[in-house]
Amino acid sequence: MSLYYIKSGFESAKARPTLTVIMYVSNLIMGILLSIPVLAAFSKATAESGYANDLSQGFDITLWADILENSPSFLPTLIAQLFWVLPVLFVWKMASSAGLIHAQMKEIEDQDGAPDQDGTPDESEAGAAGADERSQRLARNRNTTRRFWVGLGSNALKSTALGFLYLVPTVIAILIVSVIGLVLAQVAVGEVGTFWVQAVFLPLALFMCVAFIDMMHDFGRVELVAGRKGIMDSWFAGLKWPFHSGNANSIYIGWMVLGIVFLFIPFMLDLSSGGLFIAFVFQQLFLAARAFITVGWLGSEVKLVEDTLE
């Protein structure tokens, strides 16, 4: 059953490539913006040093230490950037998710003022020929894009507010995990106990908590946008989802595993041949696929919520 929803999320994302493009490009733009100090510092330090090639070959801590010493503001700049990028990232996640949900949900009635053109992939492709098909596809993409931005525009604020509400269970969960960690630390004394509590239990428990609440948050947001519920209602509804729907859990876990794999591969590629142009291209392919996963992931959740609401 959950495979059906994952498949339909996949089909939904496939039928709306512009959504993947939006997610991928926005992510890339932020990456490029934040990488500018890196380019600046290293250009200044290495361009005429004669070491460019040696540095590209592998990690040389001697030269890195000198570079960092020569550009004392480099590391502080990298850290300072996080101060503005984290809030931006938070708001963008809330807003863009609303857009993604809106673009993928069924148009119950045409409140957006446009005819239903995006349809479902199967019906729109039936029997269409050559040029006609292309123009249809273009029109469909335009409509997807429009629905994304309309959804984003009308829900960004509400979605962000909902995001703040979900900080409450997050903080509570972290507190609970910390308390359990403290209790365990009393029981599991000594070096071995400390290792298992601090290096195994705590990271795992925190990860699971965060994922669990993120799942609630996802469904709460779908309720907000697709279910047209109020903020508080969506919040409560979201909190309940993981408990009353097995599908919700399996959909979330399925997409999460895929999401991790598609982040892990480019990361491993970076360890082996990071920065090489060809590696960079491959990494971007995986990151684009990762953007596709974000779209499909929400697509599945939208479908599940819609089916349940009916």
| 132 membership: H or E segment, kind and range | helix 130-187
x/- track of binding to another protein for residues 191-220 (CB under 8 A): xxx-x---x----------xx--x--x---
Q: Which of 3, 7, 25, 65 binds another protein (CB under 8 A)?
A: 65
Q: Which of 99, 151, 163, 238 binds another protein (CB under 8 A)?
A: 163
Do residues 1 and 247 lie in contact, with contact meaning Cβ atoms separated by under 8 Å?
yes
Question: Which residue, 238, 90, 256, is CA-closest to 169?
Answer: 238
State the Cα–Cα distance between residues 50 and 31, nearest whole angstrom: 28
Largest Cα separation within the chain, whole Å, is: 72
Residue 188: CA count within 13 A, CB half-sphere: 18
* Long-range pairs of 239-245 with CB within 8 A, sequence gap ≥ 24: 239/169, 241/215, 241/216, 242/212, 242/215, 242/216, 245/304, 245/308
If one asks whether residue 84 binds another protein (CB under 8 A), the answer comes out as no
Nearer to another protein by C-beta: 18 or 27? Answer: 27
For residue 226, give the DSSP letter: T
If one asks whether residue 76 binds another protein (CB under 8 A), the answer comes out as no
Q: Among 14-22, 151-159, 165-173, 227-235, which window interacts with another protein (CB under 8 A)?
A: 165-173
If one asks whether residue 25 binds another protein (CB under 8 A), the answer comes out as no
Nearest approach in angstroms of CB 116 to another protein is 30
Do residues 85 and 34 lie in contact, with contact meaning Cβ atoms separated by under 8 Å?
yes
State the Cα–Cα distance between residues 156 and 151, nearest whole angstrom: 8
Assign 106 to helix, strand or coil: coil
Residues between 87 and 116 with contacts to another protein, criterion CB under 8 A: 89-90, 93-94
Q: Which of 7, 134, 275, 307 binds another protein (CB under 8 A)?
A: 275
If one asks whether residue 120 binds another protein (CB under 8 A), the answer comes out as no
x/- track of binding to another protein for residues 217-256 (CB under 8 A): x--------------------------------------x
Which residues make up the interface to another protein (CB under 8 A)? 27-28, 30-32, 34-36, 38-39, 42-43, 45-53, 55-56, 58-59, 61-63, 65-67, 69-70, 86, 89-90, 93-94, 163, 166-167, 170, 189-193, 195, 199, 210-211, 214, 217, 256, 259, 263, 266-267, 270-271, 274-277, 280, 283-284, 287, 290, 294
